């Protein structure tokens, strides 16, 4: 089965040029001008005319939580609904977080996630591991997880009693990665201090959703980010800060990088487009925007955009972790600390970053591809099979119409959640054709994917993305 995508503008992290793309089976066979007239390409089984369109790599979202058990409930998307929504939005690979339960081995956590994902996932997926307990046995097991293609481990500096680890445990895990080549990813907020503030606010009767933001100040994200980087420096390892939301945390990353520490960080669309004002919407509406770290005052956004330009932030992921407003967020009606933490976003990332990034003039199309696909693929051991368009790479391709205008809404999105954080927002850009390994997942507004067609990706060890030219 061969497919020719002709007349489009092909964009990679390095280049942008008018070219045709020839796909043979699951892989890209050739990229060049005038392919349409030559040999196999002229006789392709399927031809897609991409005139006026950008042809770009499928998105790679390295931070999702399908069916995460959290806050007394489960994230509302499973691997079937969440990966279908991802594909609708132009994302063809996710890296989700398997969770080690207390008392469990890492292998048990990983196997449970593989059982959930394998029969359901429409798109290829990798897994990180959330490590909740550190012991000599768990440290040895990290090596075995890396051999099974899971070389990245998320540790928490927040959520005492649920996920939080102390500095000694974090340092021990980092020291192990100095030997085994794994990567520690940190949720960097000072959970101890935040917990004291939360109890104080509740005792004062401050129960509304906005207090979630007020009790998790950006200074405590900055402090934890600084501490995470200092611990990594001491261990002599790279470190990756997840869902970075504030200028204080960004300064800590920038400062670490400027003195040569291999510190890396991602941010997410919610921190670029939403703010504390959303958390403060009237009534209980703010609950729709409860995530951690929380949304910040809007003036942090310009700093984050600058970080994406200067490469102090290397990745845009979603931290997709949806909970229904009516049935799930409501658990915290009288207590903001009981609102399940997390936002939907896996479907909107590609277009949001295009609209607010490229169309608004903050970043170039090549930088867009770097942030949305190439850097995540490199850092998380998927490159060059994923994350770029090149002969031999998997044919994970998005044909993107930059002129299409649409309005984001829960009435039209495909994520299994009853609200959109971006309800009514007008955006420019639409993934019109989405392909994974040469198979069309989305075309002409129809979904053609199959649950279980996505494959588990055994990833190789961390390798830093070179800074953009």
**Rounded Cα gap, residues 202 and 204, in angstroms:** 5
What residues contact residue 260 under an 8 Å CB cut-off, 6+ apart? none
Residue choice 256, 322, 342, 357 for contact with ligand URP (CB under 6 A): 342
Closest of 105, 103, 106, 101 to residue 129, by C-alpha: 106
Residue choice 122, 187, 288, 300 for contact with ligand URP (CB under 6 A): 187
Site string for Zn ion, 177-206 (x = CB under 5 A): ----------x-------------------
Residue with Cβ nearer ligand URP (321 or 375): 321
In DSSP notation, 265-314 reads EEE-HHHHH--HHHHT-TTTGGGGG--SSPP--TTHHHHHHHHHHHTSS-
Residue with Cβ nearer Zn ion (11 or 415): 415
Which conformational region is residue 174 in: left (phi greater than 0), alpha (psi within -120 to 50 degrees), or beta?
Answer: alpha
Q: Does 349 bind Zn ion (CB under 5 A)?
A: no
How many angstroms separate the Cα of 446 from the Cα of each of 59, 92, 340, 384, 434?
19, 16, 32, 29, 10
CB-based burial of residue 327 (10 Å sphere; 0-12 exposed, 13-18 middle, 19+ buried)?
exposed
Pick what 89 binds: Zn ion, ligand URP, none; C-beta below 5 to 8 Å, kind-dependent. none
Instruction: Return the residues of window 318-337 that contact Zn ion according to CB under 5 A.
Output: 319
Residue choice 319, 348, 396, 432 for contact with ligand URP (CB under 6 A): 319
Q: Minimum distance from CB of 76 to ligand URP (Å)?
A: 13
Q: Are 398 and 90 in contact (CB under 8 A)?
A: yes
Residue with Cβ nearer ligand URP (158 or 363): 158
CB nearest ligand URP: which residue? 341
Instruction: Return the residues of window 59-78 that contact ligand URP according to CB under 6 A.
Output: 65
Q: Which residues partner with 187 through β-bridges?
A: 156
Residue with Cβ nearer ligand URP (339 or 398): 339
**Percentages (nearest 5) of helix, strand, coil residues in the chain:** 35, 25, 40
Residue with Cβ nearer ligand URP (311 or 418): 418
> Would you tell me which residues interact with ligand URP (CB under 6 A)?
65, 187, 243, 291-292, 319, 321, 341-342
Binding residues (CB under 5 A) for Zn ion: these are 187, 319
């Amino acid at each position: 089965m061969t497919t020719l995508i002709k007349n489009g503008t092909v964009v990679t992290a390095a280049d942008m040029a008018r070219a045709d793309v020839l796909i043979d089976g699951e892989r890209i066979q050739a990229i060049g001008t005038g392919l349409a007239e030559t040999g196999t390409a002229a006789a392709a089984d399927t031809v897609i005319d991409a005139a006026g369109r950008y042809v770009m790599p499928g998105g790679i979202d390295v931070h999702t939580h399908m069916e995460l058990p959290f806050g007394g409930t489960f994230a509302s998307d499973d691997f079937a609904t969440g990966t279908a929504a991802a594909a609708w939005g132009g994302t063809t690979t996710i890296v989700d977080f398997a969770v080690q339960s207390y008392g469990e081995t890492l292998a048990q956590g990983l196997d449970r996630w593989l059982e959930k994902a394998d029969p359901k996932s429409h798109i290829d997926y990798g897994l990180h591991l959330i490590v909740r307990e550190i012991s000599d046995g768990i440290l040895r097991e990290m090596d075995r997880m890396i051999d099974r293609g899971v070389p990245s481990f998320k540790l928490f500096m927040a959520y005492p009693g649920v996920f939080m680890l102390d500095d000694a445990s974090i340092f021990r895990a980092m020291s192990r990665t100095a030997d085994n080549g794994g990567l520690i990813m940190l949720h960097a907020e000072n959970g101890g201090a935040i917990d004291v503030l939360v109890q104080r606010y509740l005792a004062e009767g401050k129960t509304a959703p906005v207090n979630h933001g007020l009790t998790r100040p950006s200074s405590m994200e900055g402090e934890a980010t600084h501490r995470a980087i200092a611990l990594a420096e001491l261990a002599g390892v790279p470190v990756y800060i997840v869902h970075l939301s504030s200028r204080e945390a960004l300064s800590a990353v920038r400062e670490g990088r400027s003195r040569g520490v291999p510190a890396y960080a991602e941010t997410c669309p919610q921190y670029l487009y939403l703010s504390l004002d959303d958390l403060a919407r009237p009534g209980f509406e703010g609950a729709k925007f409860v995530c951690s770290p929380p949304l910040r005052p809007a003036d942090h956004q310009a700093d984050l955009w600058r970080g994406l330009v200067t490469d102090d932030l290397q990745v845009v992921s979603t931290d997709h972790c949806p909970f229904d407003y009516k049935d799930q967020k409501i658990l915290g009606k009288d207590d903001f600390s009981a609102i399940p933490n997390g936002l939907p976003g896996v479907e909107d990332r590609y277009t949001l970053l295009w609209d607010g990034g490229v169309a608004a003039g903050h970043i170039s199309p090549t930088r867009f591809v770097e942030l949305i696909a190439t850097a995540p693929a490199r850092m998380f051991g998927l490159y060059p099979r994923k994350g770029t368009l090149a002969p031999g790479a998997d044919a994970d391709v998005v044909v993107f119409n930059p002129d299409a205008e649409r309005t984001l809404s829960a009435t039209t999105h495909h994520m299994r959640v009853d609200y959109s954080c971006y309800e009514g927002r007008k955006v420019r850009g639409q993934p019109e054709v989405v392909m994974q390994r040469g198979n069309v997942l989305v075309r002409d507004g129809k979904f053609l994917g199959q649950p279980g067609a996505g494959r588990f990706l055994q990833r190789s060890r961390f390798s830093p993305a070179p800074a953009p030219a």
